[in-house]
Amino acid sequence: MTAPLTVALADRSYPIHFNESATALKAEVSQLRAAKRSIRVISDARVLHAHPSYLAQAGFHDNEILSLPSGEPTKSVEFFSQALSFLASQAANRDCALFAFGGGVIGDLAGYVAASYLRGIDFYQIPTTLLSMVDSSVGGKTGINLPEGKNLVGAFWQPKAVYIDAALLQTLPPREFAAGMAEVIKYGMLADAKLLSNLEALDGLDASSEELPAVIRRCCEIKAQVVADDEKETAASGGRALLNLGHTFAHAIENVAGYGTYLHGEAVAIGLKLATQLSVHLEQIPAGDVAHVQRIIEQFKLPTQIDEPLKVVDLMAAMQRDKKNRSGHLRFVTMTHLGTAVTTDGIGAELIENLWREAGAE
């Protein structure tokens, strides 16, 4: 039995449940019903098809569930509006508890719906992908994409609890499992060299690997600590921004290629290599670390190069809209060692353009 992990945010602290999560979820639903509170679920159609009885076994009813299409395009103004109308048309009030049952797209969308509807209702995360289990379900960043960029609209809105059931990963397509591993590798690169070396020692990882639960928990521990220290990413340097290692590059790739062309984790994998190369150019880490990182990324069946005809000028324009930028200047997360990350400002555009070209952009 793995004990719950607490995200420590004073009166807004909440538990992350692990291998007893199905039991804990059922108990939560039962308590909400006993308190006469209304319950709604936003889910991913593919997840509902893969796990047709999961919600029913936890005590949810079919008429409480809004099913939305799979994929990054769902994280949009259109489906945000549809989800709000779902709640409003059923006269859901402030005692409504909203559950997200899906991956990062559904979790981010449902969280933003919860933050916005009636100026804020309770919500709970039931992540169903590796990426959402180790990263997006924890920490309270919610939001949607605009055509101009990723996560440009959203709110900080912490869940009341997170229920991580690794058994749900058994039906996850291999490509999506691999995409989740990019975020796992990221945590090793930014905060835990031992985790990174442990990953390197594995002969791959899949949903049935006995090492997986410990890996998921370790990533959640790292994120919970970072979020507790800098919940709303206001630290002048370091802090929560470090969780975006590789993401300034990744978000630009996703935006320019078109959301869904690359899975988020695939874009992050390319971004992690680029962030490593940038760290080398800044003389923060030795040149040999690039091959080291590339080897680990490829070990988990992830890309390290762009294979779409993306233009450097478009990628640079997308980067200018990144939320981490300050005073109109690009801001990156780099590494002083594999396992230690920092925020770095004042990097020239020419260096970044050259890195994009090395990665396969035009």
Catalytic residue among 247, 266, 273, 331, which?
A: 247
Q: Using CA atoms, how far apart are residues 316 and 200, in angstroms rounded to an integer?
A: 32
| Per-residue pLDDT reduced to its tens digit, 223-251 | 999 999 999 999 988 999 999 999 999 99
Distance in angstroms (rounded) separating the CA atoms of residues 289 and 235:
28
- Of the candidates 72, 183, 231, 266, the residue annotated as catalytic is 183
Place of tokens 């809004």: 66
Catalytic residue among 223, 231, 254, 273: 223
Is 25 in contact with 18 (CB distance < 8 Å)? no
DSSP string of 29-76, one letter each residue: HHHHHHTT--EEEEEEHHHHHHSTTHHHHHT--GGGEEEE-SSGGGSS
233 is catalytic: yes
Q: Which of 46, 218, 240, 331 is catalytic?
A: 240
Tokens standing for 110? 């449902």
pLDDT of residue 236: 85
Q: CA–CA separation, 278 vs 285, rounded Å?
A: 9
Catalytic hit among 40, 150, 264, 273: 264
Q: What is the mean pLDDT of residues 267-293?
A: 98
Asked about 281 being catalytic, the answer comes back as no
Residue 204 pLDDT: 87
Residue 298 annotated among the catalytic residues of the structure: no
- Measured CA to CA, the distance from residue 98 to residue 111 in angstroms comes to 8
More confident residue, 326 or 224: 224
pLDDT at 78: 98
pLDDT at 324 (0 to 100): 67
Which of the four pLDDT bands, split at 50, 70 and 90, describes residue 331?
confident
Produce one character per residue of 276-288: b if its CB has 16 or more CB atoms within 10 Å, e if not: bbbbbbbebbeee
The residue-averaged pLDDT of 26-48 equals 97
Predicted TM-score of the model (pTM) = 0.95
Predicted local distance difference test score (pLDDT) of residue 172:
96
- Type and span of the H or E element at 133: none
Active site residue 247: yes
Establish whether 141 is a catalytic residue: yes
pLDDT of residue 237: 87
- Which is the catalytic residue, given 141, 150, 218, 273? 141
pLDDT of residue 20: 87
Q: In this predicted model, what pLDDT tens digit does every residue of 168-227 receive, in sequence order?
A: 999 999 999 999 999 999 999 999 999 999 999 998 899 999 999 999 999 999 999 999
Which residue in the list 36, 63, 119, 350 is annotated as catalytic? 119
Query: Looking at domain 174-358, which of 1.10.3720.10, 1.10.490.10, 1.20.1090.10, 3.40.640.10 is its CATH number?
Result: 1.20.1090.10
Predicted confidence at residue 327, as pLDDT, reads 63
User: Which pLDDT value is given to residue 353?
Assistant: 97
pLDDT band at 325, cuts 50/70/90?
low
| Whether residue 251 lies in the annotated active site | yes
Domain ranges of the chain: 5-171, 174-358
Percentage, residues of the chain above pLDDT 70: 98
Per-residue pLDDT at 329: 74
Domain 5-171 matching CATH 3.40.50.1970: the answer reads yes
pLDDT by residue (tens digit) across 82-128? 999 999 999 999 999 999 999 999 999 999 999 999 999 999 999 99
254: amino acid identity, one letter: E
User: Can you give the pLDDT at residue 1?
Assistant: 54
